[in-house]
Amino acid sequence: MSADSPDAPGQPAVNPARFKVLSTACLAHIVQDGLTDMLYVFFPVWQQLFALSFSEVGLLKTLFSGTLAALQIPAGALAARLGVRTTLAGGTVLTSLLLFCTSFAATPLALWALLILGGAGASAQHPVGASAIAQAYTGKASRNALSAYNFTGDLGKLLFPAVAALLIASWGWPAAMRGISGGAALLGAFMFLVMRGTGSGPDSSGAIQARQPAAADRARNGLGLPFWSMAVIGILDSATRMGFLTFLPFVLRDKGADMPTLGLALGLIFAGGAAGKLLCGMVASRVGILRSVIITEAATALMIYLETASPLWLALGVCPLLGVVLNGTSSILYGSVPELVEQEARGRAFACFYTGTIGAGAVAPLIYGALSDMIGVELSVKLVAAMVMLAVPLTLPLRGKMRG
């Protein structure tokens, strides 16, 4: 990874401390996104085990992601006090251990409590990791580093659900949860060791703490209409993604899919999502960021409809293409945050952006779960496809404000 020489004269071509920040944030992203999206495989199991309605299944996702979203901004403040290293590694270990404990849950109430606490541990990864990278890398290097960070999250989404589905089919869900979450806890401890010497402690001039106090007044008014327009697009995109992925296993199960097939479907979607980070970036470079957002959102609506209306074999074939457009938009949006705000406001901007997007992703499953109980899960998922098109008119305030 190259330092951005125009903004950092005298810096070496490869800065070990910066690379440690980037690599550790990426590892945290792999583990935390993997654990979060692994839960989609467990939802059908828990529904049968605890006799849950679709609303209650949606509540499982809402409790975990709702806590995760609500604590985004406090997590940034905690990182300023404890340091990036402690916050990222500690949050990973906490989430892992609490998910490990879900394997012993005997009642829905115990499961709900553990998911709430697990979401608290996962809250630090997005705002702290993204802000630390944005401060460590400037200019063009910042967008490249953030793109790498977003891409690694999809690696976790690809790996963890597929492994979980195979382990559930072979060993049962409690053993699968213990094996995966136990390994994730070890990775969290490894992160703590790797980040030693990065200058990210609470008493150093770390990435998050250093710039906020000096620029507090400017940062207070640093988020304008273009940023909030993009944030709302991100909110709609996240609500679509989370609402759809929560109930996709149930749609496929009604088509005859077994547990390994559900894992395969999610794996294909997340593999497409990883490719989408690259492909959508190429589209954006050719047709512009705003046009690419419109294209990917329209394609998302079409692919979700095909997923629900097709037989199982065709639905599986659609999964990779759906993953490309379903996840590709988010990479374009996240990487554009630094272009819409002053540098001093980036930490706050990332915290607000992730709070809104993850919060929408937390609420959406509960809403669509209630709709599924009333009108059926397939029709409810088709409504998800229609909602994503509301993002198109929101691109208007962004014209002339962003590259492309």
Q: Each residue of 326-375: pLDDT tens digit?
A: 877 776 776 666 667 676 676 677 778 877 887 888 899 999 999 999 99
Q: Please indicate, yes or no, if residue 8 is contained in any of the structural domains.
A: no
Domain with 42 in it: what CATH number?
1.20.1250.20
Among 126, 160, 133, 191, smallest CA distance to 15 is for 133
Q: Please indicate, yes or no, if residue 181 is contained in any of the structural domains.
A: yes
Distances (CA, A) of 11 to 17, 21, 136: 11, 16, 12
- 3-class SS letters over 182-241: HHHHHHHHHHHHHCCCCCCCCCCCCHHHHHCHHHHHHHHCCCCHHHHHHHHHHHHHHHHH
**What's the confidence (pLDDT) of residue 177?**
97
DSSP 350-403: HHHHHHHHHHHHHHHHHHHHHHHHHH-HHHHHHHHHHHGGGGGGGGGGGTTTS-
- Domain tally for the chain? 1
Interacting residues of 280 by C-beta distance below 8 A, sequence separation 6+: 292, 296, 324, 325, 328, 329, 331, 332
Please give the share of the chain, as a percent, with pLDDT higher than 70: 82
**Could you report the per-residue pLDDT of 89-111, keeping only the tens digit for each?**
899 999 999 999 999 999 999 99
Report how far Cα 387 is from the mean position of its chain's Cα atoms: 20
Q: Is 310 left (phi over 0), alpha (psi -120 to 50) or beta?
A: beta
Q: Please indicate, yes or no, if residue 7 is contained in any of the structural domains.
A: no
Residue 375 lies in domain: 16-398
Q: Please indicate, yes or no, if residue 4 is contained in any of the structural domains.
A: no
Q: Please indicate, yes or no, if residue 253 is contained in any of the structural domains.
A: yes
**What's the confidence (pLDDT) of residue 139?**
66
Q: Please indicate, yes or no, if residue 5 is contained in any of the structural domains.
A: no
Interacting residues of 113 by C-beta distance below 8 A, sequence separation 6+: none
Report if pTM > 0.85.
no
Q: Please indicate, yes or no, if residue 403 is contained in any of the structural domains.
A: no
Task: Indicate if the pLDDT at residue 141 is higher than 70.
Answer: yes
Q: Please indicate, yes or no, if residue 9 is contained in any of the structural domains.
A: no
Task: Indicate if the pLDDT at residue 397 is higher than 70.
Answer: no
Query: 211 pLDDT band (50/70/90 cuts)?
Result: very low
